[in-house]
C-alpha cells in the first residue's frame, strides 16, 4: 500500500495515472446516460415484472406474495397452452416465409437499375410505414365476407364467399400473410443493403467461371448474404414472438381464445381482468422463450454460416 503510494510520487507514472483517471471519467460520463436510461427503463421494470409474477396482485397497487402459484397456474392454464402454440404457429408461418420472400424480392429488385429500382423498392416498402390500424382496415375491407374485393376470387376457388377472419383454420395463415406483406419492406431493405455489399467483380468472376444462375445464387449470393439472413431471421423471430396487434384486431369480437397469442394473454390477464400478477407471469415466460429461441437460433445459424 505504502509502496504503491511512493511509486505514484515518481513524476512520470503519476502523470500517466492522472491521464487514465481522466479517461475513465470521460468514459463514465459518456456511458452514464445510457446506463441510467437502460437501468431505469429496462432493468428496473424487468425486475419489477419478475417480482410481480410471484404475487397475486392487480394491475396497479400492491398484492400478496404467493410464491410460484402463478407459475403453477400457468402450466395448468389451457389458454396458456393455446396461446403458446398459436404464437409458435404464427412464428413458423411468418419468420421463414418472410425472410425467403424478402430475399427473393431483394434479389429481383437488385437487378433493376435507376429509378425503376427505386420505384419498385418503394412499392414494397410503403406497407411497412402504414400503421397497423390502416393495415387492418385495408385487409379487413379486401377480405370482407360481403363486399370484399377479394371475395369473387375466393368464391371461384371455394364456391362461396368465405369469412376468412372467422374461419379458424384460415385465420392464422391469413394474418401471417398480411403480416409478411406489411413488414417485408424492411427485410427487403436489409437484404438489398447486403446484396449491394457483394462486389460486382465477384459476379463477373463467377460469369467467367461459367456459373449457372442457380449455382450463382446458391454458391455465391446465398453464402455471402448469410449474415444478413441470420440478422433478418433473428429480428423476425423476436418481432413475431411478440405478435399482438394484427391478431388482436382481426380476431377482436371473434373466437379470440382460439386465436390468442402470448402477448394477448398478458394483455387480457393484466389489463382486462386486472390480474397483474398473472399477466407478469406470462410475460416472464414469454421473455424467457424469446431469449432462449433467439439465442439458440442465432448460434445455430451462425455455426452453419461459419462452415
Contact residues for another protein, defined by CB under 8 A:
58-61, 140, 144-147, 163, 165-168, 199, 201-202, 204-212, 215, 219-220, 223-224, 252-258, 268, 271-274
Check residue 244 and report its DSSP letter.
-
For residues 117 and 211, which CB has a smaller minimum distance to another protein in the complex?
Answer: 211
On whether the CB atoms of residues 179 and 242 are closer than 8 A, the answer is no
On the CB side of 183, how many CA atoms lie within 13 Å of its CA? Answer: 23
Q: How far is the CB of 61 from another protein (least distance, A)?
A: 6
Q: How far is the CB of 264 from another protein (least distance, A)?
A: 11
Task: Tell the residue number behind the cell numbers 422463450, with chain if given.
Answer: 289
Q: How far is the CB of 27 from another protein (least distance, A)?
A: 31
Q: How far is the CB of 6 from another protein (least distance, A)?
A: 48
For residues 22 and 274, which CB has a smaller minimum distance to another protein in the complex?
Answer: 274
For residues 80 and 186, which CB has a smaller minimum distance to another protein in the complex?
Answer: 80
Helix axis angle, 276-306 to 69-76, nearest 10°? 70
CA 24-28-31 angle, 5° bins: 135
Q: Is 56 helix (H, G, I), strand (E, B) or coil?
A: strand
Q: How far is the CB of 258 from another protein (least distance, A)?
A: 7
Radius of gyration of the chain (CA): 26
Amino acid at each position: 500500500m505504502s509502496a504503491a503510494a511512493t511509486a505514484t510520487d515518481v513524476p512520470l507514472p503519476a502523470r500517466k495515472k492522472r491521464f487514465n483517471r481522466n479517461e475513465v471519467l470521460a468514459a463514465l460520463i459518456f456511458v452514464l446516460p445510457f446506463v441510467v436510461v437502460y437501468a431505469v427503463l429496462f432493468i428496473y421494470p424487468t425486475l419489477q415484472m419478475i417480482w410481480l409474477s410471484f404475487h397475486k396482485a392487480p394491475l396497479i397497487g400492491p398484492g400478496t406474495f404467493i410464491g410460484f402459484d402463478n407459475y403453477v397456474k400457468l402450466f395448468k392454464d389451457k389458454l396458456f397452452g393455446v396461446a403458446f402454440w398459436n404464437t409458435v404457429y404464427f412464428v413458423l408461418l411468418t419468420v421463414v416465409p418472410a425472410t425467403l420472400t424478402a430475399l427473393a424480392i431483394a434479389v429481383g429488385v437488385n437487378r433493376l437499375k435507376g429509378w425503376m429500382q427505386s420505384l419498385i423498392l418503394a412499392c414494397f416498402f410503403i406497407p411497412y410505414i402504414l400503421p397497423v390500424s390502416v393495415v387492418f382496415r385495408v385487409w379487413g375491407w379486401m377480405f370482407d365476407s360481403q363486399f370484399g374485393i377479394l371475395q369473387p376470387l375466393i368464391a371461384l376457388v371455394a364456391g362461396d364467399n368465405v369469412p376468412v377472419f372467422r374461419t379458424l383454420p384460415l385465420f392464422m395463415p391469413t394474418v401471417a400473410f398480411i403480416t409478411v406483406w406489411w413488414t417485408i419492406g424492411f427485410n427487403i431493405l436489409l437484404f438489398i443493403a447486403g446484396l449491394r455489399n457483394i462486389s460486382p467483380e465477384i459476379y463477373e468472376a463467377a460469369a467467367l467461371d461459367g456459373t449457372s444462375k442457380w449455382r450463382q445464387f446458391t454458391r455465391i449470393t446465398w453464402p455471402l448474404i448469410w449474415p444478413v439472413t441470420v440478422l433478418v431471421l433473428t429480428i423476425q423471430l423476436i418481432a413475431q414472438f411478440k405478435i399482438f396487434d394484427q391478431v388482436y384486431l382481426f380476431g377482436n369480437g371473434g373466437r379470440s381464445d382460439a386465436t390468442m397469442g402470448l402477448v394477448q394473454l398478458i394483455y387480457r390477464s393484466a389489463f382486462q381482468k386486472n390480474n397483474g400478477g398473472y399477466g407478469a407471469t406470462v410475460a416472464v415466460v414469454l421473455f424467457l422463450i424469446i431469449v432462449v429461441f433467439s439465442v439458440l437460433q442465432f448460434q445455430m445459424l451462425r455455426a452453419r454460416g461459419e462452415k
